[in-house]
Amino acid sequence: MKKGKGKGHRLSLGATLAVTAALISFLLAVAFIIAGAIWHTGSAARERGTLGDALAHELARTLTARDLEEGGTALRERLTDIRDGSGAYRVYICAPDREANTVVADSETGSVEAGFDISLFTVEDILDGKEVAPRTYGGNAKVVCPAPIADEDTVLYAVVEFDMSGAVRAATVWGATASVVAAVLSILLAGLYWLLVKKSVITPIKRISDAAADYSEGGNRQAFAKLRFAGSAELTGLANSFRMMLAEIEVNNMEQQELAVQEQKNAGDMALASGLNAAARPKELPAGRDYPFRLGGMVNENGRALTGCFYDYFVSEGDKLCFTLGETSGEGLSQALFAVIGETTLKSHLRSGMPLEEAVSAANRQLYEMSGGSIYLSVAAGVLDGTTGRMKIVNAGQCLPLLMRFTEGRYDRTGALPQVPLGQNENVSYTALELELRQGDRIFLHTEGIEDIEDRTGRPFREELRKSLNELNARTADPAGQLRLISDAGGVYAGYSGDIRPYALMSVEYCRRDKMEAHCVVTADSAGASEYISFLRNQMNANEVPKKPAAETLVVADELMSLCRANASGEGRFMAECAVRDGLAVLRIRGRMGGVDPLGGQGPLAGQADFVRRSCERVLFEHGEDADTVTAVRRIV
């Protein structure tokens, strides 16, 4: 309640302007009176000082020693004449010293005070007979001038004093009169100012305020169009601005209603697209089987539900892996639907059993009939024969796949050059690139979105992609883990994720082991050591190595792994290989060991190292930039 009451005491705009006008008028009047009084008094003082200075100099110039010797009557009469003729208060001759001021002759006949107060002047200048400036103090103005008749012991000064009380009274009367006149003028000026402000400001603002209040209660905004203020283009413009602003508000309200309807429609579209995207994702391969390949796929939507990126795979009869990866041109609901339709169409033709090239060509014709080339699909499709390791790839407008040969350990671009995207041209016959894969070889497929990621300087991720794939942790990770590492590397490269386009990734690894040469990836712990021994036992059995040399080889391999584990660093993973040929077993363990040879023969493990060296034909340690390699060759026949 108190708060509301306080608000009621606030001054209106008109009252505030009136008080301001009165205050300004009052301050101007006071300043005028003070300045005038100071000027009036100073002017009188200057006049008296000028006259007194002239009289004192004239008296000092004409004063002689004879005048002083003849006595005081003649000199006093002369001083009196000067006083009466000039309107001075007192005229006299004075001999000042440090103790007192002796009056030698005076215009006054009665008893008067001693001469001028020497403390008002510079004492040394007075005693030396120098001229000094006039002084005004209290109600008097005093002018002194040295006389030329001074001897070595005495200095005479002619002194003229004026009574300033009359000038002060005149200034006071002037100030009182000026105060009355200033008060009247202030009232008149304040009233005139108020009338002008009321006509040009208060009344127009009140009309604008009333029009706004009427609009808030349901009135028409056209009330602002009727507001015209003569001589005030600013307020007329303000009224027009209000009218335009209200018109924009009404238009904005209509747009918001349309936007709300569109958002509801988009929400339905996004829900449909999300459902389609989820349904289009491939299902996991059935468990319980040891497939001759490993694979992983992902779509980074980057917060966008209507994405046209996809990947898919399935296993057909004879352990043949069919896989596709692609994206549509543009983004939106139509593109998302076309991606699902294109993916389903291509998958249907691949399932029919026709060769890869014919399946892609048939899918292209069917999609062209649907879109007429307005929307197209960039696809990389492939078939991997799990039994033979033969792979075919057709690149229909997609990025070049990257291939890593296990024996080389680096990703390089394949020769699967891009051809026309699906649905863009009806008359296209596609060709396939054929590859022969061995155990550990991998192929990496991706869409343009990840290559187009830019850092803060605008450099694309295209070249950094290969560098990230060739990192040891990416090469040794399983396909799904590899894709996560690459996706994270792209996000770190960008520094922020707002401008990253959606993209799809896929990694396929051929895993069928050859009895002559095989490998496995194990961790640098006891579980990894057990997995390594199991891997070697299978290789010994597959190559029909006799039991005794096989058992002895497993013992040596176990000791070798123990030495390598002791030096493990980094992520603690090893790539273990085994090759059996010509009566020799070649054991190779590759990983990060800190650049130190585990078979160096020193320290507490020196006995184990010596045992391994004595049990093998040859032992070799190699230090690499990203990994160290230990190779042991043992005869098994």
DSSP class of 199: I
User: Looking up tokens 């009557």, which residue turns up?
Assistant: 73
User: What's the CA gap between 418 and 393, in Å, rounded?
Assistant: 11
Q: Which domains does the chain have, with CATH numbers?
A: 14-169 (3.30.450.20), 220-278 (no CATH), 281-510 (3.60.40.10), 517-635 (3.30.565.10)
485 token code pair: 């590492």
Q: What is the mean pLDDT of residues 199-208?
A: 70
258 contacts: CB under 8 Å, gap ≥ 6: none
Single-letter residue type at 287: A
DSSP class of 460: B
b/e 145-177 (16+ beta carbons within 10 angstroms → b): bbbebeeeeebbbbbbbbebeebbeebeebbee
Q: Cβ distance 416 to 356 under 8 Å?
A: no
- List the single range of 93-102, 310-319, 489-498, 626-635 with lowest mean pLDDT: 93-102
Torsion of CA 456, 461, 463, 468, to 10 degrees: 110
Q: What is the mean pLDDT of residues 440-451?
A: 93
Q: Cβ distance 569 to 594 under 8 Å?
A: yes
Helix axes 547-566, 606-615, angle to 10 degrees: 140
pLDDT digit string, tens, across residues 58-101 = 777 777 767 776 556 777 777 787 777 777 777 877 777 766 56
Question: How many whole angstroms from its chain centre is CA 481?
Answer: 34
Name the range with the highest mean pLDDT among 255-264, 305-314, 475-484.
Answer: 475-484
pLDDT interval class at 1 (50, 70, 90): very low
Q: What is residue 86's predicted lDDT score, i.e. its pLDDT?
A: 74
Q: Is residue 401's pLDDT more than 90?
A: yes
User: What's the CA gap between 230 and 115, in Å, rounded?
Assistant: 74
* Helix, strand, coil % in the chain, rounded to nearest 5: 50, 20, 30
pLDDT interval class at 200 (50, 70, 90): low
Edge to edge, the sheet with strand 402-405 lists 293-300, 503-510, 442-446, 402-405, 410-413
Q: What is residue 24's predicted lDDT score, i.e. its pLDDT?
A: 72
User: What's the CA gap between 330 and 375, in Å, rounded?
Assistant: 8
Ramachandran quadrant class, 456 (left: phi over 0; alpha: psi -120 to 50; beta: rest): alpha
Nearest to 93 by CA among 111, 83, 109, 107: 107
Q: What is residue 624's predicted lDDT score, i.e. its pLDDT?
A: 86
pLDDT digit string, tens, across residues 379-395 = 999 999 988 889 999 99
99 token code pair: 């103790």
Q: What is the mean pLDDT of residues 268-291?
A: 65
pLDDT interval class at 7 (50, 70, 90): very low
Three-state DSSP string of 36-48: HHHHHHHHHHHHH
Q: What is the mean pLDDT of residues 535-554?
A: 92
- Residue 210: how many other CB atoms lie within 10 Å: 13
- List the single range of 318-322, 440-444, 561-565, 609-613 with lowest mean pLDDT: 318-322
Q: Cβ distance 559 to 635 under 8 Å?
A: no
Nearest to 338 by CA among 451, 253, 423, 248: 423
Name which residue leads in pLDDT, 472 or 422: 422
User: What's the CA gap between 300 and 486, in Å, rounded?
Assistant: 11
User: What's the CA gap between 176 and 163, in Å, rounded?
Assistant: 22
pLDDT digit string, tens, across residues 277-288 = 665 667 677 666
Ramachandran quadrant class, 74 (left: phi over 0; alpha: psi -120 to 50; beta: rest): alpha
Q: What is the mean pLDDT of residues 573-597?
A: 90
User: What's the CA gap between 65 and 608, in Å, rounded?
Assistant: 138
Nearest to 402 by CA among 392, 410, 412: 412
- List the single range of 58-62, 445-449, 491-495 with lowest mean pLDDT: 58-62
Nearest to 162 by CA among 105, 74, 82: 82
Nearest to 487 by CA among 462, 450, 461, 454: 450
Q: What is residue 412's predicted lDDT score, i.e. its pLDDT?
A: 92
Q: What is residue 39's predicted lDDT score, i.e. its pLDDT?
A: 64
Q: What is residue 171's predicted lDDT score, i.e. its pLDDT?
A: 65
Q: What is residue 240's predicted lDDT score, i.e. its pLDDT?
A: 66
Q: What is the mean pLDDT of residues 311-320?
A: 88
